[in-house]
Amino acid sequence: MAIVVRLDVELARRKMGVGEFSEQVGLTPANVAVLKNGRAKAIRFSTLEAICRVLDCQPGDILEWVDDD
């Protein structure tokens, strides 16, 4: 089982750059890159809430479960 982070898709849909996004969410650009590239092991609910607030989306728009089979 794998959780896929679709942050890059949502940023592209809104034509928002990583710098602007990271500033509004309160993350460093490096941590945004970790999320975008799928290298994050966990995410805090407060961070997920901030992402959804900034992008005006639901957690399911950002995170997707994909079966490994």
Q: What is the pLDDT of residues 19-58, one digit of tens each?
A: 999 999 999 999 999 999 989 999 999 999 999 999 999 9
Residue 66 CB partners (closer than 8 Å, separation 6+): 1, 2, 3, 4
The whole-model pTM stands at: 0.89
CA distance 19 to 54: 13
Q: Is the CB of residue 5 less than 8 Å from the CB of residue 63? A: yes
Mean pLDDT of the 4-31 span: 95
Structure tokens at 58: 């639901």
Tally helices (H) and strands (E) across the chain. 5, 2
**How many structural domains does the chain have?**
1
Tell me what pLDDT residue 38 has: 86
CATH code, 54: 1.10.260.40
- Domain of residue 35 covers 2-66
